[in-house]
Structure 1
Amino acid sequence: MPRRTATMLASTLMLIALLCAGVFLQVPYSEMSPGPTVNTLSDHDGEPVLQIDGHKTYPTDGHLNMTTVRVTSPDYRMNLVEAVYGWLAHDNRIVPHDTLYPDGKTEEQSTQENAEEFSQSQESAKVAALKELGIPVQSWVIVATVVKDSPAQGRLHAGDVIKAVDGTPVKQPSDVAGLVTKHKPGEKTVFTIVPAKDQAAAEKAHKTATATKDVTITTARSHDGGAQRAVVGISPGTDHTFPFTIDIKLADVGGPSAGLMFALGIYDKLTPGSLTGGKFVAGTGTIDDDGKVGPIGGIELKTIGARDKGAQYFLTPADNCAAAAADTPSGLTLVKVGTIGDALGALKDIRSGKTAGLPTCSAKG
């Protein structure tokens, strides 16, 4: 066999061997890519994303799109070839698996956590929008979760309203831990609650539940790696009673990052006129009950997804501005926002065409 032919054959065989090795060699990475964007003012899968009943609503136009990021599942094992391709692709990000799924979370655990965060973001979006409109919202401290095999199991239940601990009124979730940890492990503490079923019945009837009951729980010693203290085994949270019904219908989405865009969509539907002036505005950001906008992950991918769908402006959390500005898609204006009030002010300028003074993102933030 001629030397040249032999060399080419050997090189080909080596290349095939390397490709095979790359296909079968698993690497500890995950992939992120631009996900779908959904107009909160429009329909999705045949029904309105925002459904409001019991209060006057107004026609809307334009776009207020929430944005998403696709990620490979916790159980997916990427091979070397896929990782290299992802590194070379501009619209994808390859990141260490533990960055997305720390502590060895399973797919079921990750899905549950994302669903809980998404549900909480919806509640906060409703509260923030109504507060901005001056519409009163009642808030309650509740039992969010009960730890299995803890002292509270069977005595407290998710959804119970916590009115007081040891006779001291509870105003916010952090009050609960402060009152419980005044005890030593093994001592008894008394929770004054409205049972979840009674609270649900009152809300359904648009009334306020007034009947309470006391539940005595013997505290236990904490085992979470922090300072030892008395615990009962619950996570407190906040629930709200709204003066009318606001439903957010959007399946197969998780996490808290759509909060800002939901809040703006609700605000738009409850006020006359158009927030966007017919413009295509997208954005992202968590939101709390007071309307503060927080940072999210995957900002560079969300801006790509938004621009690909036609967005002209992108409402960007202030803490994400520097990262977003480092690789801004052509034709997209990044608008810096820190609160729902900032976003409403920016939208006023956008719909009036006075965009020269918009607070835009830069490499410095």
Structure 2
Amino acid sequence: MKRKIWTRIIFVVLIILLALTFYQLPFYVEKPGMAHELDTVVQVENGYHDKGKLMLTTVRMGRANIYNYLLAKVKKYEDIVPLNEVRDKDQTEEEYNVYQLYLMESSKNNAIQVAYSRAGKFVDSNYKGVYVLDVYPDMPAAKVLKPGDRITKIDGHSFESSEKFIDYVQKKQVADTITITFVRKGKEKNSTIQLAKFDHAEGKIGMGIGLVDDREIISDPKVKLKTESIGGPSAGLMFSLEIYNQLTKNDLTKGHSIAGTGTIDPDGTVGRIGGIDKKVVAADNEGAEIFFAPDDEITPEMKKAYPNIQSNYKEAVKAAKDIGTKMKIVPVKTFDDALNYLKALK
């Protein structure tokens, strides 16, 4: 009899423990990810090959349950991040993921523009439409559109930019109906939306979406970047270096293993990213000899809001010293800083 009772107790406990793995806490756990070779991600048509390797670095970010939360409390280089510091309070998980994918697409486009311009190759852009980042649940668009949709026409009209798209809608009245043409998962669709007053935009007329321009880069030679499993903008610098390396005859790597991180603007400016200490760990685990870190400027406003904030470069140096790596941390403010460093490399 006692044996049956203990069997039931153990069974119930196991069910509870299993259920706790699926219960999500209002936190994310951030930990070192991987350092991934870019010659398998970036493919320039008839591009040159390198003897060494350029690598992007990542952090792993996932919703916390009770188990990985407790582990992160005791493990080094694993951080617990409150939900509201990762995404806006009104932003859904789907909208957050779509936004990360959009940031990745923008990062790729900027990297292509920078690399091709510096290499003296042809590069241009083609406007594809309006990319839907988020949809407000209390607005008319919520019944029709989803984050990730691309609107190509309104009432049969195409537009050259999101500004002209917005201007067209703003000339309408509350309760006016517009016909939109949009693309979802490669399929073109048509639907009608009745406009309403948009309280989130100071009472302007709208359908209730957050939007950005969706542009396609045209280049010669052609280039493909396979980034289906990667989100965010932080690989921009390393993308641009790998693209440039495949476009030009002289190998930038010279047989070395080089990692790094940082956003890239169309003018070549390298920007700050999050989780750089974990990316240093990931690069060291992969045997990188050199690590490019954004040498970003800390403004008085940033210092006031976050008194302990440091530049990415200083954070990376601190992490490298802490783990005892021989990997050289190199500060960069621009694409040209990284390029000139590699050109001078023995």
Q: Same fold (TM over 0.5)?
A: yes
Q: Note the C-alpha offset of 1:187.
A: 11
Aligned to 2:65: 77
Aligned to 2:36: 38
Kindly indicate whether residue 199 of structure 2 is the aligned counterpart of residue 223 of structure 1: yes
Which amino acid is the alignment partner of residue 131 of structure 2? A
- Separation (CA, whole Å) in 1 of partners of 2:82 and 2:95: 19
Which amino acid is the alignment partner of residue 144 of structure 1? Y
Q: Note the C-alpha offset of 1:136.
A: 2.9
Aligned to 2:282: 305
Aligned to 2:122: 136
Which amino acid is the alignment partner of residue 96 of structure 1? P
Q: Does the CA-based 8 Å contact 2:140-2:207 persist in structure 1?
A: no
1:149 paired residue among 140, 143, 152: 140
1:254 paired residue among 231, 240, 243: 231
- Separation (CA, whole Å) in 1 of partners of 2:162 and 2:264: 18
Kindly indicate whether residue 119 of structure 2 is the aligned counterpart of residue 127 of structure 1: no
Aligned to 2:337: 342
User: Within 5 A, what are the aligned runs for 1:216-295?
Assistant: 220-224=196-200, 226-231=201-206, 235-237=211-213, 238-295=215-272
Aligned to 1:4: none
- Separation (CA, whole Å) in 2 of partners of 1:321 and 1:250: 26
- Separation (CA, whole Å) in 1 of partners of 2:333 and 2:54: 17
Secondary structure of 1:37's aligned partner: strand
- Separation (CA, whole Å) in 1 of partners of 2:194 and 2:71: 56
TM-score normalised by length of structure 2: 0.69
- Separation (CA, whole Å) in 2 of partners of 1:26 and 1:250: 27
- Separation (CA, whole Å) in 2 of partners of 1:140 and 1:107: 30
Give the 3 Å change call, closer, same or farther, for CA 158–28 of structure 1 in structure 2. closer
Which amino acid is the alignment partner of residue 65 of structure 2? R
305-314 or 131-140, which deviates more: 131-140
TM-score normalised by length of structure 1: 0.66
Q: Does the CA-based 8 Å contact 1:176-1:236 persist in structure 2?
A: no
- Separation (CA, whole Å) in 2 of partners of 1:324 and 1:88: 21
- Separation (CA, whole Å) in 2 of partners of 1:240 and 1:247: 10
Q: Note the C-alpha offset of 1:107.
A: 4.3
Q: Does the CA-based 8 Å contact 2:140-2:195 persist in structure 1?
A: no
Kindly indicate whether residue 47 of structure 2 is the aligned counterpart of residue 57 of structure 1: yes
Q: CA RMSD in A?
A: 4.1
- Separation (CA, whole Å) in 1 of partners of 2:208 and 2:255: 50
Q: Note the C-alpha offset of 1:28.
A: 4.0
Give the 3 Å change call, closer, same or farther, for CA 182–84 of structure 1 in structure 2. closer
Secondary structure of 2:122's aligned partner: coil
Which amino acid is the alignment partner of residue 38 of structure 1? H
Runs of at least 5 residues in structure 2 that lack an aligned partner in the other structure:
1-16, 184-192, 297-311
Q: Note the C-alpha offset of 1:109.
A: 3.8
Matched residue pairs, number? 293
Q: For 1:151-187, what per-residue CA distance to the aligned partner results, in whole angstroms no more than 9, with x for missing partners?
A: 9x79xx826389xx99xx95x655655x458747559
Give the 3 Å change call, closer, same or farther, for CA 105–222 of structure 1 in structure 2. closer
Which amino acid is the alignment partner of residue 93 of structure 1? D
Secondary structure of 1:290's aligned partner: coil
Q: For 1:126-172, what per-residue CA distance to the aligned partner results, in whole angstroms no more than 9, with x for missing partners?
A: 22211222223222443222858349x79xx826389xx99xx95x6
- Separation (CA, whole Å) in 1 of partners of 2:65 and 2:331: 37
- Separation (CA, whole Å) in 1 of partners of 2:181 and 2:115: 27
Which amino acid is the alignment partner of residue 241 of structure 2? L
Q: Does the CA-based 8 Å contact 2:42-2:226 persist in structure 1?
A: yes
- Separation (CA, whole Å) in 1 of partners of 2:227 and 2:132: 24
- Separation (CA, whole Å) in 2 of partners of 1:322 and 1:267: 27
Q: For 1:3-32, what per-residue CA distance to the aligned partner results, in whole angstroms no more than 9, with x for missing partners?
A: xxxxxxxxxxxxxxxxx9xx8998643321
- Separation (CA, whole Å) in 2 of partners of 1:97 and 1:119: 24
- Separation (CA, whole Å) in 2 of partners of 1:26 and 1:144: 30
- Separation (CA, whole Å) in 2 of partners of 1:290 and 1:276: 23
Secondary structure of 2:89's aligned partner: helix
- Separation (CA, whole Å) in 2 of partners of 1:257 and 1:284: 6
Runs of at least 5 residues in structure 1 that lack an aligned partner in the other structure:
1-19, 42-47, 197-216, 353-365
Q: For 1:192-221, what per-residue CA distance to the aligned partner results, in whole angstroms no more than 9, with x for missing partners?
A: x9998xxxxxxxxxxxxxxxxxxxx99653
